[in-house]
Amino acid sequence: MYSKFLEMCGFEPKEINEEKDRIEETFKILKIGEREITAAEKRVEHLYSIELPCVRKILKVWINELIDLVMAKEEKKKIIYAIMPSPAESYLAAMLASDKLYVGYPDYVFQIGLGAIFGNLNPLLEAAERYGMTPGGGHCGLNKTRLGAHALGIIPVGDLSMAWGIVCDEGPKTDELIHEIFGTPIVYLDRCQDDPLDLFPKINKLSVDYMVGEIKRAYAQFAEVAGVEITNELVVQAVGILFGYMGWLGKVQELMRGDPLPLSQADMILFIMVTQLCIRDYDAATEAVKMLHEEVKQRVEDKRGVLPEGAPRVLWGNHFPLPDPGIVKMVEEVGIASPLSEIWYLATQPPGKVYDDPIETIAHRFLEIGLMTSVTGRVKDVIRLFKSWNLDGILWFNHAPCKVIGTDSLMIKKALKRELKVPVIVVEGDIYDARFYNRQQMRTRVESFAEMLKTHQKRAV
Amino acid sequence: MGLYERLNLAIAQRPLQLQQAKDSGTRIIGISGLGYVPEELVYALGAIPMRLVRGGDPEPLAAAAGYMDRILCPFSRAQFGYRILEEESRYQIIDFLICAITCQHMRRVADVWDLNTDVEIFRLGVPHAHNTEAGLRYYLEMVRRLKEKLEAFLGIKLNEERLREAVILYNRMRKLLREISFLRKSTIPSITGKDIFKLMHSSFYLDPKEMVEILESFIAQLKNNEGKEGAAKHRILLTGNILAMGDYKVIEMIEEAGGIIVMEQFCGGVRHYLDNIDLNGDLLESIARRYLQGRAPCAFMRPSRERINLVVKLAEEFKVDGVIWYQLRYCDTYNMEFFYFNKIMKEVRFPVLQLESEYDVEEGGRLMNRVESFMETLERRK
């Protein structure tokens, strides 16, 4: 039933056979039957460049992540859950501490695994809506995914939830809700977002010190639960692994400057997301990203791409939607190339400075991203990216339910129009819940915007 | 002059008083972020603290629509909407605005004022990890920075003795509010919930010395009146995130439907006057401790179970028949908390009604129907 699909996603028949029990148990828990597999085959074929071995390889990494998450308790692992936004390297260090632990971001894994690949995320979102995140209440689909997975019992109750409140309020509140309903022990991490608007790119020392203290406090609680410590050596090792991968990804990102756009962002999402959470198989992911680099380099040299040469190019505000890569495809079909997204580009940069205390480096890297500090910091980053990438406009895909990255779109649009004097569109969307918008309606707006971009291009010439 | 006449007169005279004070050089310091900014500091520096707590009207939301995303809670949008409507003097008269960065909604209030007005802004970080030593240290440091900022802005150094006097005055005001509010433990309360809100909101607006006098006259008379107002059918505890000054529709509905609010637990409700500042030890630290840790935490703080426990305790102490949870649309943390709040209240057998508002005039009929049905439910339980 599932062999053809898994082979499309890079599995060898031998691997499928060896992993048969785990695969079947996972699919059973996730209620993935014949119908879902058939739908996923079509979906993967349409959305991803599966003719490329590197894309198949990274799809396999994600499916394995899905299996590892669902099977964690059955395989007698202690489970530590993480939430976003948080620095992935801090969890990668925790994961490296012991192979008897499952450390991960369940929501992200489901967003990619169940959402992007299987197109079957909605049951989780709907379950969360029955457990306190009421529909229409402006709740984030990422948090709904985590709560819904608990509500449906498709992931085990964790041994510890490390609830990062360093950016948003709803993320840790979701963990508090999970704690109250399902009993997951919890440790909260905190940060205040009180920087004056003109401070960025300077870093608020008080904020760094507080964040460092919070991470260390959480690590102490982790050690109590996990029975192992996250040492500085582990953090350094984690940073090495993550930045090693990021280095290759950065090279691919640079190649996206090529005209025509050499690769669909639908494919890129699968590679970028590896940097946003801790995965178990960095070796396979790194091999895949190196292969991707070779492929994209060749395409740039051959002047091959997914859009015609000269297509208008935009900065994608926020990041590309996770469970619905079809939106990215739609924008590309309309004739707009988006070589980078604001958040993911910034979040995959190495730290500006390395400190003796690796936790301090983590905190600094986080706070070097403008949107983590202030609306004007965010605008400064966007303007810098816009200018250095020689773009024609900005497509701001607003994550409307988010109280952090979705509540500054009007302020940002005004500032960008004033500073850059280029076409800017704010599309009311949702990066974690495709039910939020109507794709056709969105397409009509994006088509009009594409015309505006083309006019702007001609006038600029 | 009757109690309420005196209060109403003081409220009516306040805009002129403020304007005259401003004209004579006194600075008026706006405060956004409800209960996390120590007004005592402002007062001790010779300026006038002015809490911005208006809400409940749809017009400011429409006015703010081009500046603030619609997914922000209506209270936060209103805090800028009143400013640009230019119909509410307290939003026009301020020289400086202290914004407590409590939740993301209130963070955007600071941003929109900062970007669109010439009022100087100070962001006062409020740690959500309210119960940790690190959280307290952070908040204390921010209070110190606020003090320095105000000293520079006002051109005056904070005098320890004046700060102590201010703390004593505000402590007295909170103690009086508590005494008046707690009179509602009586079977036949001598003051309604609406009047308590009016007093509390007036205490955010009027001169504190005058307010203390008003509260003292209230308490003297109310104690004599105890048991004379006639019993309402159902004793209600009203709770939620924010009940803004002017957002009184739900209170009126409850009272019209035969209920009496005997306790209210909002950011500006009982938590405002339940605890006072300890005068022993370092005064700034005592202030920080009271503002951050002395009050049961809001839903955006973590953990926030202590506040739910407080509701249960108050519901029992005040012998309430039912609890009404009033939340504002898009307030994500309170909306989520309701899910387990409701579960806990059911366990302790208090009936609960959840209401939601976006300050829309058209929601009145729907809310009233639900309040009336809830009162009928309470009736059947008796």
What pLDDT does residue B25 have?
A: 97
Q: What are phi and psi of A187, to 5 degrees?
A: -130, 130
B109 has pLDDT over 90 = yes
What pLDDT does residue B314 have?
A: 97
pLDDT bin (cut points 50, 70, 90) of residue B258 is very high
- The total of other beta-carbon atoms located within 10 Å of residue A455's CB is 12
Instruction: Determine the residue of chain A that is closest to B343 in CA distance.
Output: A181
Angstrom distance (rounded) from CA A204 to CA A191: 11
β-sheet with B352-357: strand ranges across: B259-265, B234-240, B322-328, B352-357
pLDDT in tens, B28-45: 999 998 799 999 999 999
Give the list of residues 6+ apart from residue A450 with CB closer than 8 angstroms, or none: A312, A334, A335, A336
- For the record, the structure tokens of A45 come out as 């074929």
Within chain B, residue ranges assigned H as helices are 3-23, 39-44, 59-64, 74-85, 89-92, 104-116, 133-154, 160-182, 193-203, 208-225, 249-256, 270-273, 283-288, 305-317, 332-347, 364-381
Cis? peptide before A85, omega within 30° of 0: yes
Q: How far is A268 from chain B (nearest CA, A)?
A: 30
What pLDDT does residue B228 have?
A: 55
What pLDDT does residue B223 have?
A: 82
A89 within 8 A of A360, measured Cβ to Cβ: no
Q: Give the one of B72, B142, B338 whose C-beta lies nearest to A407's C-beta.
A: B72
Asked whether the beta carbons of residue B300 and residue A173 sit closer than 8 angstroms, the reply is yes
pLDDT in tens, B282-306: 999 999 999 999 999 999 999 999 9
Q: Give the one of B71, B302, B338 whose C-beta lies nearest to A165's C-beta.
A: B302
Angstrom distance (rounded) from CA A440 to CA A193: 37
Angstrom distance (rounded) from CA B21 to CA A162: 51
Sign (positive or negative) of CA dihedral B277, B280, B284, B289: negative
Angstrom distance (rounded) from CA B181 to CA B177: 6
Angstrom distance (rounded) from CA B362 to CA B368: 11
Q: Give buried/exposed letters for B131-161 (b at 16+ CB in 10 A, else e).
A: ebebbbbbbbebbebbbeebeebbeeebeee
pLDDT in tens, B6-26: 999 999 999 999 999 999 999
pLDDT in tens, B305-314: 999 999 999 9
ipTM over 0.90? The verdict is yes
pLDDT bin (cut points 50, 70, 90) of residue B268 is confident
Asked whether the beta carbons of residue A193 and residue B68 sit closer than 8 angstroms, the reply is no
Asked whether the beta carbons of residue B332 and residue A173 sit closer than 8 angstroms, the reply is yes
Query: Can you tell me the mean pLDDT for B193-222?
Result: 95
Burial class (CB in 10 A: 0-12, 13-18, 19+), A270: buried
Asked whether the beta carbons of residue B335 and residue A197 sit closer than 8 angstroms, the reply is no
Residues of A in contact with B108 (CB under 8 A): 407-408
Q: Give buried/exposed letters for B280-315 (b at 16+ CB in 10 A, else e).
A: eeebbebbbbbbbbbbbbbbbbbbbbebbebbbebb
Instruction: Determine the residue of chain B that is closest to A128 in CA distance.
Output: B336
A268 within 8 A of A252, measured Cβ to Cβ: yes
- For the record, the structure tokens of A94 come out as 């925790």
Choose, out of A180, A187, A431, the residue to mutate when testing the contact with B (most B CBs < 10 Å): A180
Instruction: Determine the residue of chain B that is closest to A208 in CA distance.
Output: B138
Q: Give buried/exposed letters for A66-84 (b at 16+ CB in 10 A, else e).
A: bbbbbbbbeeebbbbbbbb
- For the record, the structure tokens of A257 come out as 């400057």
Asked whether the beta carbons of residue A188 and residue B335 sit closer than 8 angstroms, the reply is no
**Looking at the complex, does the CB of residue A413 fall below 8 Å from at least one CB of chain B?**
no
Q: How far is A177 from chain B (nearest CA, A)?
A: 7
How many CB pairs below 8 Å do chains A and B form together? 140
CA distances from A20 to A25, A26, A70, B346 (A): 8, 10, 14, 46
Q: How far is B305 from chain A (nearest CA, A)?
A: 9
pLDDT in tens, B342-354: 999 999 999 999 9
- The total of other beta-carbon atoms located within 10 Å of residue A30's CB is 23
Cα torsion for B181, B186, B191, B196, to the nearest 10°? 20
Q: Give the one of A165, A194, A402 whose C-beta lies nearest to B101's C-beta.
A: A194
What pLDDT does residue B232 have?
A: 66
Task: For residue B203, give the nearest of B193, B194, B215, B191 by alpha carbon.
Answer: B215
Q: How far is B280 from chain A (nearest CA, A)?
A: 27
Sign (positive or negative) of CA dihedral A261, A267, A268, A269: positive
What pLDDT does residue B230 have?
A: 58
Query: Looking at this protein, which amino acid is placed at residue A370?
Result: G
Angstrom distance (rounded) from CA A119 to CA A291: 26
B229 has pLDDT over 80 = no
**Looking at the complex, does the CB of residue A159 fall below 8 Å from at least one CB of chain B?**
no
Asked whether the beta carbons of residue B111 and residue A375 sit closer than 8 angstroms, the reply is yes
Asked whether the beta carbons of residue B127 and residue A172 sit closer than 8 angstroms, the reply is no
**Looking at the complex, does the CB of residue A406 fall below 8 Å from at least one CB of chain B?**
yes
- For the record, the structure tokens of B330 come out as 């898009």
Task: For residue A252, give the nearest of A58, A84, A117 by alpha carbon.
Answer: A58
Angstrom distance (rounded) from CA B113 to CA B349: 44
Query: Looking at this protein, which amino acid is placed at residue A308?
Result: P
Residues of A in contact with B105 (CB under 8 A): 403, 407
Give the list of residues 6+ apart from residue B113 with CB closer than 8 angstroms, or none: B32, B80, B83, B97, B99, B119, B121
Angle at A450 between CA A444 and CA A454, to 5 degrees: 150
What pLDDT does residue B233 have?
A: 83
Angstrom distance (rounded) from CA B1 to CA B3: 7
* Crossing angle of helices B104-116 and B74-85, rounded to 10°: 20
Choose, out of A174, A175, A176, the residue to mutate when testing the contact with B (most B CBs < 10 Å): A176
Q: Give buried/exposed letters for B69-85 (b at 16+ CB in 10 A, else e).
A: bbbbbbbbbbbbbbbbb
- For the record, the structure tokens of B163 come out as 């700060």
Q: Give the one of A137, A180, A197 whose C-beta lies nearest to B332's C-beta.
A: A137
What DSSP state is assigned to residue B54? B
Q: What are phi and psi of B248, to 5 degrees?
A: -105, 10
CA atoms within 13 A on the CB side of A48: 29
Secondary structure, 3-state, chain A: CCHHHHHHCCCCHHHHHHCHHHHHHHHHHCCCCHHHHHHHHHHHHHHCCCCCHHHHHHHHHHHHHHHHHHHCCCCCCEEEEECCCCCHHHHHHHHHCCCCEEEECHHHHHHHHHHHHCCCCHHHHHHHHHCCCCCCCCCCHHHHHHHHHHHCCCCCCCCEEEEEECCCCHHHHHHHHHHHHHCCCEEEEECCCCCCCCCCCCCCHHHHHHHHHHHHHHHHHHHHHHCCCCCHHHHHHHHHHHHHHHHHHHHHHHHCCCCCCCCCHHHHHHHHHHHHCCCCCHHHHHHHHHHHHHHHHHHHHHCCCCCCCCCCEEEEECCCCCCCCHHHHHHHHHCCEEEEEHHHHHHCCCCCCCCCCHHHHHHHHHHCCHHHCCHHHHHHHHHHHHHHCCCCEEEEEEECCCCCCCCCHHHHHHHHHHHHCCCEEEEEECCCCHHHCCHHHHHHHHHHHHHHHHHHHHHHC
Instruction: Determine the residue of chain A that is closest to B112 in CA distance.
Output: A411
- For the record, the structure tokens of B214 come out as 């008003």
Instruction: Determine the residue of chain B that is closest to A140 in CA distance.
Output: B332
What DSSP state is assigned to residue B361? G
Angstrom distance (rounded) from CA A416 to CA A423: 9
- For the record, the structure tokens of A225 come out as 């639960």
- For the record, the structure tokens of A314 come out as 């935009």
CA distances from B199 to A5, A316, A395, B177, B204 (A): 68, 50, 49, 8, 9
Asked whether the beta carbons of residue B335 and residue A139 sit closer than 8 angstroms, the reply is yes
A394 within 8 A of A386, measured Cβ to Cβ: yes
Q: Give the one of B108, B300, B339 whose C-beta lies nearest to A131's C-beta.
A: B339
What pLDDT does residue B3 have?
A: 87
**Looking at the complex, does the CB of residue A1 fall below 8 Å from at least one CB of chain B?**
no
pLDDT lower than 50: segments of chain A: none
**Looking at the complex, does the CB of residue A408 fall below 8 Å from at least one CB of chain B?**
yes
B226 has pLDDT over 70 = no
Asked whether the beta carbons of residue A138 and residue B304 sit closer than 8 angstroms, the reply is no
Angstrom distance (rounded) from CA B45 to CA B158: 6
What pLDDT does residue A296 have?
A: 98
Residues of A in contact with B123 (CB under 8 A): 194-196
Q: How far is A454 from chain B (nearest CA, A)?
A: 27
- The total of other beta-carbon atoms located within 10 Å of residue A100's CB is 12
B227 has pLDDT over 70 = no
What pLDDT does residue A73 have?
A: 87
Entry pTM: 0.96
Give the list of residues 6+ apart from residue A421 with CB closer than 8 angstroms, or none: none
